[in-house]
């Protein structure tokens, strides 16, 4: 179905954006529209955000104030959103993004009714435009309710939590899901400050991606059995970063400015796993400047959370699948921490430039891991990332596929389509290649200043190129690196720097030896790191006989591996060989968590195995689907079909 987008950028705005990126830019914490020579810099390279109905040059949301009741019985958020607006002199209406919202009333700051209209729903993730006639108003108050089943929100029954006694709620807003519970301009280029008052049942705790003004909550007058929690985000953020969780949560400090929330039974394990968090923050600041968000806390969610982590400001949401017991998967925490600079501080202006968030973050993550855990660890992670990138290149149809570009064309598509390892790993390889050309010292100085120059601002590929031209490259370096080819062309340029791990050489030899002999004695498993074990399992031929598979499983206990990455790598291999002894492990793994990175490939692998895998996959999915977040089901539905399929 065609989807109507409203252009919100003029040619002059592009020029203003490039000027802003090329020179000094004022700090933009106020929430006001950043201006360069009188021109707004809210922009994309194409002159529009393809995934928002907003027209911010006419009227732009600068602040959102939420007053909502978390209704666990109806599974809805119910209450009000009050929006402060910046309105152009000739602005007559504001256009917001919404999907499935039940709008009950719209008034101005004085409480007077305003005319509003909900447009036709697109029939896909984009939802419908909510247009409000302003009649001179610069503040609007919307009384509304989210729909049951709102895509951003997952309401868990007590049985889906670790404690088993209380329900749980969490949100996942990226990329454009927050419009299912907040009526605002849901574009990453339209940064907004916000505050919230959230009421929840007594005994549950609400947390959000903001300063927590009432950490213990307060009684609600006239509503016995409920408590209210208040939050404030004073720095303008992209709207997808507004996040909430409600449940039986306990907290433990990890350092002066960091700590972890989790269900009580998981708290001790989480605190032990993340005990190096303060050291990571210090390393990140040493590399690229001050951490600007005050606290950096973690929230370990129930296993239904669809991602490894989500970089919500001040409160990163993480999956329990990284609790391996030996800190072997904490690179994910380094990644989410790095987003405090790349993504949260400097944000892709539209989802066509998702790589500006993730490519920079993967590069930065690796530098944190190098600083805290050493060069060898960083090299192994980078080498595994290269392999992930090349696997996605193959899945996307090869190096000529347009989806192997960094800057994408996602018009008419779900922005989720751009969330591949191209954005993450090719983006990081590009930055490593630039670092290799100009030298680490000069690159680090530029990147530190880049975050300062563009703090609290949206960014585009064109803006990045302008910044590099003005502040990094000398002489013919820009032409030598091939900026335009790297960013706008498919494939992988010949000058790409592939970081290769020396420790993987022995692993690769073990792969060859085991493939040839079938003897597990050639495998130095007890001495290997998680990353070496991943390399081994992923590097084995996809066709192995049952005797070799049985030897691997019985020797190393792969069906019961606690480390989720190792178990995932093993199950991919087992499914490819229709290894019956792994079926119970496959079922248990898919029913125990909803992380899309693991769930989607395993269902795809099962469906590829005909009569052996398809009925098995469909039976598991019928049971598992109600436990998964919409982010995961939207992907797996296309592979397996719905629960009724």
| Residue 262: strand pairing partners | 250
Task: Report the C-alpha gap between 366 and 51 in whole angstroms.
Answer: 31
What's the rounded mean pLDDT across residues 359-383?
97
What's the CATH code, domain 341-488?
1.10.390.10
List every span in the chain annotated with CATH 1.25.40.320: 506-640
| Residue 40: strand pairing partners | 35
Q: Do 130 and 103 meet the contact criterion of CB atoms below 8 Å apart?
A: yes
Contacts of 635 (CB under 8 A, 6+ apart): 416, 596, 600
List every span in the chain annotated with CATH 2.60.40.1730: 60-248
Reply yes or no on whether the pLDDT at 287 is more than 90.
yes
CA distances (Å), 602 to each of 420, 549, 587, 605, in order? 17, 18, 10, 5
Contacts of 490 (CB under 8 A, 6+ apart): 399, 400, 401, 402, 403, 404, 405
Q: What value does the mean pLDDT of the chain take? A: 92
pLDDT in tens, 142-189: 999 999 999 999 999 999 999 999 999 999 999 999 999 999 999 999
**pLDDT attached to residue 642:** 73
**Which candidate, 593, 591, 638, places its Cα nearest to that of 619?**
591
Task: Report the C-alpha gap between 153 and 359 in whole angstroms.
Answer: 27
Task: Report the C-alpha gap between 15 and 571 in whole angstroms.
Answer: 51
**pLDDT attached to residue 409:** 92
Peptide bond into 163 cis (omega under 30): no
**pLDDT attached to residue 47:** 54
List every span in the chain annotated with CATH 3.30.2010.30: 258-340
Residue 146 DSSP symbol: P
Task: Report the C-alpha gap between 239 and 178 in whole angstroms.
Answer: 7
Tokens representing residue 275 in the block: 């005990």
Share of the chain above pLDDT 70, in %: 92
Residue with tokens 């700090």: 27
What's the CATH code, domain 506-640?
1.25.40.320
Which strands make up the sheet holding 168-171, listed edge to edge? 153-156, 168-171, 244-247, 205-208
Task: Report the C-alpha gap between 176 and 416 in whole angstroms.
Answer: 9
What's the rounded mean pLDDT across residues 196-207?
97
What's the rounded mean pLDDT across residues 99-128?
96
65-68 contacts, C-beta under 8 A, 24 or more apart: 65/194, 65/195, 65/196, 66/182, 66/194, 66/195, 66/196, 66/197, 66/198, 67/196, 67/197, 68/196, 68/197, 68/198, 68/199
Q: Do 307 and 324 meet the contact criterion of CB atoms below 8 Å apart?
A: no
Q: Do 188 and 351 meet the contact criterion of CB atoms below 8 Å apart?
A: yes
Contacts of 224 (CB under 8 A, 6+ apart): none
In this predicted model, which residue has the larger pLDDT, 2 or 578?
Answer: 578
Task: Report the C-alpha gap between 37 and 83 in whole angstroms.
Answer: 27
Q: 602: buried, middle or exposed (CB in 10 Å: 19+, 13-18, 0-12)?
A: buried
Contacts of 291 (CB under 8 A, 6+ apart): 257, 281, 284, 285, 340
pLDDT in tens, 384-416: 999 999 999 999 999 999 999 999 999 889 998
Share of the chain above pLDDT 90, in %: 89
Helix or strand or coil: residue 237?
strand
CA distances (Å), 623 to each of 115, 154, 499, 584, 619, in order? 45, 17, 42, 15, 7
The radius of gyration of the chain's CA atoms, rounded to the nearest angstrom, is 25
- How do strand 296-300 and strand 258-262 relate by DSSP bridges? parallel
List every span in the chain annotated with CATH 1.10.390.10: 341-488
- How do strand 76-87 and strand 139-145 relate by DSSP bridges? antiparallel
Contacts of 124 (CB under 8 A, 6+ apart): 1, 3, 414
Range of weakest confidence among 2-6, 245-249, 408-412, 466-470: 2-6
Q: Do 249 and 267 meet the contact criterion of CB atoms below 8 Å apart?
A: no
Task: Report the C-alpha gap between 98 and 105 in whole angstroms.
Answer: 15
Q: Do 58 and 94 meet the contact criterion of CB atoms below 8 Å apart?
A: yes
- How do strand 128-133 and strand 168-171 relate by DSSP bridges? unpaired
With respect to CATH, is domain 60-248 assigned 2.60.40.1730?
Answer: yes
Q: Do 199 and 70 meet the contact criterion of CB atoms below 8 Å apart?
A: yes
pTM recorded for the entire structure: 0.92
Task: Report the C-alpha gap between 42 and 55 in whole angstroms.
Answer: 11
pLDDT in tens, 13-70: 333 333 333 344 444 554 444 443 333 444 454 456 889 999 999 999 999 999 999 9
Fold of domain 258-340: Zincin-like (3.30.2010)
Instruction: Identify how many contiguous H helices and E strands the chain contains and give both numbers.
Output: 20, 24
Task: Report the C-alpha gap between 643 and 645 in whole angstroms.
Answer: 5
Catalytic residues: 336, 424
Banded pLDDT at 297 (limits 50, 70, 90)? very high
Q: Do 191 and 237 meet the contact criterion of CB atoms below 8 Å apart?
A: yes
């Amino acid at each position: 179905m065609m989807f109507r987008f409203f252009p919100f950028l003029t040619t002059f705005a592009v020029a203003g954006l490039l000027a802003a990126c090329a020179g000094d830019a004022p700090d933009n914490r106020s929430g006001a529209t950043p201006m360069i020579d009188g021109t707004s810099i809210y922009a994309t390279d194409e002159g529009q955000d393809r995934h928002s109905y907003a027209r911010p040059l006419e009227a732009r949301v600068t602040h959102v104030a939420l007053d909502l009741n978390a209704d666990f019985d109806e599974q809805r958020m119910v209450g009000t959103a009050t929006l402060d607006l910046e309105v152009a002199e000739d602005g007559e209406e504001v256009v917001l993004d919404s999907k499935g919202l039940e709008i009950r009333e719209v008034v101005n700051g004085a409480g007077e009714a305003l005319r509003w209209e909900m447009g036709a729903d697109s029939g896909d993730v984009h939802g419908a435009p909510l247009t409000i006639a302003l009649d001179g108003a610069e503040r609007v108050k919307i009384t509304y309710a989210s729909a049951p089943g709102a895509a951003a929100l997952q309401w868990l029954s007590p049985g889906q939590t670790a404690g088993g006694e209380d329900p749980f709620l969490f949100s996942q807003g990226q990329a454009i899901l927050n419009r299912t519970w907040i009526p605002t301009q849901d574009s990453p280029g339209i940064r907004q400050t916000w505050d919230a008052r959230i009421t929840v049942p007594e005994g549950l705790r609400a947390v959000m991606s903001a300063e927590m003004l009432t950490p213990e909550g307060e009684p609600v007058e006239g509503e016995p059995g409920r408590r209210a929690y208040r939050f404030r985000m004073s720095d303008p953020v992209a709207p997808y970063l507004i996040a909430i969780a409600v449940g039986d949560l306990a907290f433990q400090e990890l350092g002066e400015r960091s700590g972890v929330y989790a269900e009580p039974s998981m708290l001790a394990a989480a605190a032990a796993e993340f005990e190096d968090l303060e050291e990571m923050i210090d390393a990140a600041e040493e590399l690229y400047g001050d951490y600007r968000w005050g606290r950096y806390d973690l929230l370990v969610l129930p296993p239904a959370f669809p991602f490894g982590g989500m970089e919500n400001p001040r409160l990163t949401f993480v999956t329990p699948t990284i609790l391996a017991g030996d800190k072997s998967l904490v690179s994910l925490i380094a990644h989410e921490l790095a987003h405090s600079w790349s993504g949260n501080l400097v944000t892709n202006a539209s989802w066509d430039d998702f790589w500006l968030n993730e490519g920079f973050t993967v590069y930065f993550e690796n530098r944190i891991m190098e600083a805290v855990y050493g060069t060898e660890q960083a090299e192994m992670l980078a080498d595994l990332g290269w392999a992930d990138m090349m696997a996605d290149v193959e899945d996307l149809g090869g190096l000529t596929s347009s989806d192997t570009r960094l800057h994408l064309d996602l018009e008419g598509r779900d922005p989720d389509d751009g969330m591949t390892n191209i954005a993450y790993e090719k983006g990081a390889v590009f930055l490593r290649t630039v670092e290799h050309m100009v030298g680490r010292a000069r690159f680090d100085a530029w990147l530190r200043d880049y975050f300062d120059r563009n703090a609290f601002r949206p960014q585009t590929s064109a803006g990045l190129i302008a910044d590099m031209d003005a502040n990094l490259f000398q002489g013919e370096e820009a032409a030598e690196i091939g900026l335009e080819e790297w960013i706008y062309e498919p494939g992988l340029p010949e000058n790409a720097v592939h970081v290769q791990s020396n420790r993987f050489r022995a692993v690769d030899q073990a792969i060859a030896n085991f493939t040839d002999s079938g003897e597990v004695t050639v495998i130095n498993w007890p001495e290997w790191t998680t990353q070496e074990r991943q390399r081994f399992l992923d590097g084995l031929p996809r066709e192995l006989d049952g005797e070799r598979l049985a030897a691997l499983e019985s020797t190393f206990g792969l069906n019961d591996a606690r480390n989720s990455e190792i178990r995932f790598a093993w199950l991919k291999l087992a499914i490819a060989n229709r290894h019956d002894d792994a079926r119970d492990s496959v079922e248990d793994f898919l029913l125990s968590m909803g992380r899309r990175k693991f769930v989607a490939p395993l269902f795809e692998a099962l469906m590829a195995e005909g009569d052996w895998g398809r009925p098995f996959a469909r039976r598991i999915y019928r049971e598992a689907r109600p436990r998964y977040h919409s982010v995961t089901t939207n992907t797996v539905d296309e592979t397996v079909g719905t629960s009724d399929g």
